[in-house]
Amino acid sequence: MAADVAVPALSSEEAAEVLAQPTPIAAFWAAFRENRGAVFGLVVISAIALIAIFADFLAPHSPIEQFRDAVRAPPIWDAGGTWRYALGTDGDGHDTLSRLIYGARVSLFIGLSVMSVSFVVGVVLGLLAASVGSLVDVVITRVMDLIMAVPSLVMAILVVAVLGPSLANTIVAVTIVYLPRYVRLVRASALGELTKDYVTAARVAGVGPLRMMVATVLPNCLAPLIVQAALGVSDAILEAAGLGFLGLGAQAPTPEWGTMLADSREFIRSDPWIVALPGLAILVAVVAINLTGDGLRDALDPRMRRS
Amino acid sequence: MLVYFLRRLTLTVPTFIALMFVTFAAIRLVPGDPVEVRVGEHGISPERLVYFRHQLGLDLPVWQQFLDYCWRLLHGDFGVSLSTQQKVLTEFLTLFPATIELSLCAMLFAIAIGVPAGAVAAVKRGSLFDQGLMTVSLFGYSMPIFWWGLLLIMFVSVKLELLPVAGRIDLINYYFDQPTGFMLIDSLLSGQSGAFLDAVRHLILPAIVLGTVPLGVIARMTRSSMLEVLSEDYVRTARAKGLSPFRVIGVHALRNALLPVVTVIGLSVSSLLAGAVLTETIFSWPGVGHWLIESISRRDYPALQGGVMLVSTVVIGVNLVVDLIYGAINPRIRHGR
């Protein structure tokens, strides 16, 4: 996009500013800010996070209270809509707006828990595979290959079949499904780093194996890992919503967006908005996170930059 | 080449064994006794219970049960479905063509639009078309496809009444044998007028829904790969020797740009099958994804176990073939480790 932007002449102060070594965070922010889409994504996702945090204050009603006198009330822009239920109510009389607001909490919770657990476990297993080598490496790699061989949703279905459908088990299932990505990424970048001179230097200096992997090698593998983690949040949200849609995720009346969609499927002809809104919420959240993730990638890892 | 072939082949063996172990263990961990599930709520005499347990091999040590399970799998015995009393393998093979047909058409849709659009976007980098396509592709691969499917049904099928809501063909007007299991082929073979067109009409929406995510990915990959290729020396050479822009871009550049795209397509079987589970559920498409979900809600664990095993075997097999083909084409993969 920036192909034919002319380079402006620099004043002496600007030149000094350019020449001064920026802190890593400042450099990152400068690169990230350039990507308008990414900043927009970050704004949207921050808004969703705020909504999730302050759901108790923002939601007009409880997400699980059933208003028996207002079942399938129309949203405000439809004939008969009232501000009392601004986005209408669903087939059980739940207020849709309140459920969407609390749903942000559920979805972000799923996305962040899956991401943090698979991040930590992925780093541990990946570093183990790369440093210990031989049998440990083979076992870890094979198990990850196995998980990758089973289509993500099918694997999640198998896990849920064993554990039973619930919000917690959704997180377990999706974590298992996305673990291989982190493990493989950490293992591959750690193996790459281990051949470099600074590692040899550290080894000669007498750095122990644990300190070597965690303090010396790991920080150099972080950039692609952070990008993966950001994009992993949106994938986890999508996957969990898919499970919820199939009736295998969070169970009603938990206000999970995918579950809300599944529960309202029967009203697709009569009250389409009950179906349309939860999906729109999923799409907005996922698009925002993906935009941010792309921006992170461009800013953190110039090699992965998508021209 | 033979060494590469054998090495790659042996790599799949432990994965396969682990897969057998996982499916075996998973179903054993499911709460509830398989015999009780089979006999129902009323219960049976203790003698009959012992007899059933013996018949199902449940009185053997676990490791022996596992070896039996592996032995049966290797002989093509994937168990018997509890709900239909049919062999799981037979059920799978009857339903699988529907899934293949849907997945192939979805991929075709994604490629037919994604590749040309991505190439044009790269050539006209920064243009309105480029920015538009990148936005569309972002939404494409961020799409919750179960919602997208419902939206399309809502607008195209219910409101505009353009396309059918569910199924593979209108069973009231068309009924014929299905020797191949592929509706497009069978409807042509049946000779019934209008049958083929009806099959196509049923296929359009599911194929679009399943193809949406791959479309986003392919368009984006083609664009970035094309951008890289366009700056290569041989493209400049081709231009310099006076070839028409169409030839330079369409033949010289695109052919090389497509290599990474083909890799992505080849390795997307797994995600395509995952998407098929959702797509088939929305459109009541009688394929293996729909079947897996059904067997879970019927607590038909043998079907689920066999189904997961078979679906994964397909993925392992396809990935193996894809890898072998790359090995054959690209010596660097063959000799690298």
Q: How many helices (H) and strands (E) does chain B have?
A: 16, 0
Question: Can you point out the beta strands (E) in chain B?
Answer: none
Predicted confidence (pLDDT) per residue in B143-167, tens digit: 999 999 988 988 888 888 888 878 7
In degrees and rounded to multiples of 5, residue B283 shows phi and psi of -100, 15
Bigger pLDDT: B57 or A199?
Answer: A199
Among candidate residues A39, A164, A158, A166, the one with its CA nearest the CA of residue A106: A166
The whole-number average pLDDT for the span B4-18 is 82
Residue A18 has pLDDT above 70, yes or no: no
pLDDT-above-70 percentage for chain B: 93
Which of A40, A48, A243, A246 best tests the B interface by mutation, with the highest count of B CBs <10 A? A246
Predicted confidence (pLDDT) per residue in A110-141, tens digit: 999 999 999 999 999 988 888 887 888 888 88
Bigger pLDDT: A6 or B191?
Answer: B191
How many angstroms separate the CA atoms of A161 and A184, rounded? 27
Average pLDDT, chain A: 82
For residue A12, give how far its alpha carbon lies from the nearest alpha carbon of chain B (Å).
Answer: 32
What is the model's pLDDT at position B195?
77
The whole-number average pLDDT for the span A196-220 is 82
Chain B contacts of A153, Cβ < 8 Å? Answer: 274-275, 277-278
N residues, chain B: 337
Chain B contacts of A1, Cβ < 8 Å? Answer: 125-126, 131
The whole-number average pLDDT for the span A217-224 is 82
What is the model's pLDDT at position B32?
65
Chain B contacts of A279, Cβ < 8 Å? Answer: 144, 146-148, 150-151
The whole-number average pLDDT for the span B307-333 is 81
Q: What is the pTM of this model?
A: 0.84
Residue B206 has pLDDT above 90, yes or no: yes
Q: Is B315 on the interface with A (CB under 8 A)?
A: yes
Bigger pLDDT: B61 or B115?
Answer: B115
pLDDT-derived band at B208 (thresholds 50, 70, 90) equals very high
What is the model's pLDDT at position A306?
44
How many angstroms separate the CA atoms of A240 and A257, rounded? 9
What is the C-alpha radius of gyration for chain B, rounded to an integer number of angstroms?
24
What is the C-alpha radius of gyration for chain A, rounded to an integer number of angstroms?
23
Amino acid (one-letter) located at B165: V
Residue A99 has pLDDT above 90, yes or no: no
What is the model's pLDDT at position A2?
46
Predicted confidence (pLDDT) per residue in A161-189, tens digit: 888 888 888 899 899 988 998 998 888 88
DSSP bridge partners of A253? none
The whole-number average pLDDT for the span A84-96 is 74
For residue B138, give how far its alpha carbon lies from the nearest alpha carbon of chain A (Å).
Answer: 7
- Interface touch A272/B14, C-beta < 8 Å: no
Average pLDDT, chain B: 83
What is the model's pLDDT at position B144?
92
Residues in CB range of A248: below 8 A, 6 or more apart = A156, A157, A160, A165, A170, B296
Chain B contacts of A245, Cβ < 8 Å? Answer: 144, 146-147, 278, 281
What is the model's pLDDT at position B36?
66
The whole-number average pLDDT for the span A49-78 is 78
For residue A4, give how far its alpha carbon lies from the nearest alpha carbon of chain B (Å).
Answer: 9
Predicted confidence (pLDDT) per residue in B76-86, tens digit: 888 888 778 88
Which of A104-108, B1-5, B126-130 is predicted with the least confidence, judged by mean pLDDT?
B1-5
The whole-number average pLDDT for the span A50-73 is 78
The whole-number average pLDDT for the span A215-237 is 85
How many angstroms separate the CA atoms of A52 and A281, rounded? 12
Q: Do A90 and A99 contact (CB within 8 A), yes or no?
A: yes
ipTM over the 0.90 cut-off: no
In this structure, what token pair is assigned to residue B288? Answer: 């293996």
Residues in CB range of A164: below 8 A, 6 or more apart = B31
In this structure, what token pair is assigned to residue B26? Answer: 């998973």
Predicted confidence (pLDDT) per residue in B162-193, tens digit: 888 787 777 777 777 777 778 777 777 777 77
Bigger pLDDT: B328 or B136?
Answer: B136
Selection from A127-131, B25-29, B43-47, B97-101 with the highest mean pLDDT? B97-101
Which of A51-60, A72-81, A226-235 is predicted with the least confidence, judged by mean pLDDT?
A72-81
Residue identified by tokens 């393998």 is: B89
Q: Name the residue among A162, A242, A282 with its Cβ closest to that of B26.
A: A162
How many angstroms separate the CA atoms of A131 and A140, rounded? 12
> How would you classify residue A298: left for phi > 0, otherwise alpha for psi between -120 and 50, otherwise beta?
alpha
What is the model's pLDDT at position B337?
45
DSSP secondary structure, A236-268, as one string: HHHHHHHHHHTTSSSPTTS--HHHHHHHTGGGT
How many angstroms separate the CA atoms of A221 and A119, rounded? 12
What is the model's pLDDT at position B111?
92
In this structure, what token pair is assigned to residue B3? Answer: 């060494």
